[in-house]
Amino acid sequence: MSTNGIRGGPWPGQVVLRRRWAKGHARPWNEEVQAAGLRIERGGADFVDACFHWLVDRGCDEVLSVPVHPQGAGIWESAGFVPHTELRLLSRSLIDAVAEPTHHVRPGGGHGDWTAVAAIDDRAFDRFWRVGRLGLADAAAATPRSKLLVADVAGEPIGFVIAGISLDVGYLQRMAVDPAVQGRGIGRSLVRAALRWARRRGARTMLLNTQLDNRPATTLYRSEGFEILPERLTIFGRTAESRP
């Protein structure tokens, strides 16, 4: 399959897009929003633009970037993308010890765990922010090393966190607690478990991002020692109608 020299796989699905040395990854944003999520591993604005056309040719209404650091914004802007959503970036030092979780949190990762946590994710996040199984798999694959950690009640998963580490930086990639049991300290235990997991593996800092209007999450993170960084991440978007 080829558009503008792009080679990809069957769409919709999780596809690797290539053109010469350039490489990107695309997947449906989620099952409810007819957009594609695009991550560029290597390549410039021309390649971003070609990926956009490849995806729109296959029926996507809109293409959205992964959250982009200000330093990486140029290629998206040059490819005709505009800011869609801003995210807050938070950081916490892992030099000092981290308090123990008060709820039991266990390592997860079996097929049953991924099915259960995808269902929790669907219930906890609103339509736009749901990522589905593919998005959770992406979150786990975003760092060379990662772990799914699960909180259970009576043997049933009721919350999870995906933690990752790359060099000496830990990442809290995704976290949710079933709405039926929110407000009981499970989220706090998951944050601590993620911090402890990363710290034991040599991370010196933990980073995460969250929506600007997510008060519960921001309040929780700040009360567990995270500080809000001055820079923000941006999800860039370009709609099919913007195509000349």
Ligand X SMILES: CC(C)(COP(=O)(O)OP(=O)(O)OC[C@H]1O[C@@H](n2cnc3c(N)ncnc32)[C@H](O)[C@@H]1OP(=O)(O)O)[C@@H](O)C(=O)NCCC(=O)NCCS
Residue 117: phi, psi to the nearest 5? Answer: -75, -30
Secondary element (H or E) of residue 38? strand 35-42
Nearer to ligand X, 49 or 138 (CB): 138
Q: Binding-site residue total for ligand X (CB under 6 A)?
A: 20
Find the shortest distance in angstroms from Cβ 189 to ligand X. 7
With CB atoms as reference, the residue minimizing the distance to ligand X is: 187
Is residue 192 within the footprint of ligand X (CB under 6 A)? no
> Which residues have a Cβ under 8 Å from the Cβ of 234 and sit 6 or more positions away?
65, 67, 68, 70, 73, 83, 84, 85, 86, 87
Q: Binding ligand X by CB under 6 A: which of 15, 17, 177, 207?
A: 177
Residue 158, interface with ligand X (CB under 6 A)? no
Which tokens is 26 given? Answer: 């695309």
**Smallest distance from ligand X to CB 176, Å:** 4
Residues between 91 and 130 with contacts to ligand X, criterion CB under 6 A? 124-125
Site for ligand X in 215-234 (CB under 6 A): 215-217, 219-220, 223
Q: Which residues contact 86 (CB under 8 A, 6 or more apart)?
A: 212, 232, 233, 234, 235
Q: Indicate which single residue of 75, 139, 176, 207 sits in contact with ligand X (rule: CB under 6 A).
A: 176
- How far, in Å, CA of 27 to CA of 25, rounded? 7
Is residue 162 part of the contact set for ligand X (CB under 6 A)?
A: no
What's the CA gap between 92 and 94, in Å, rounded? Answer: 6
- Residues in contact with ligand X by the rule CB under 6 A: 124-125, 175-177, 182-188, 210, 214-217, 219-220, 223
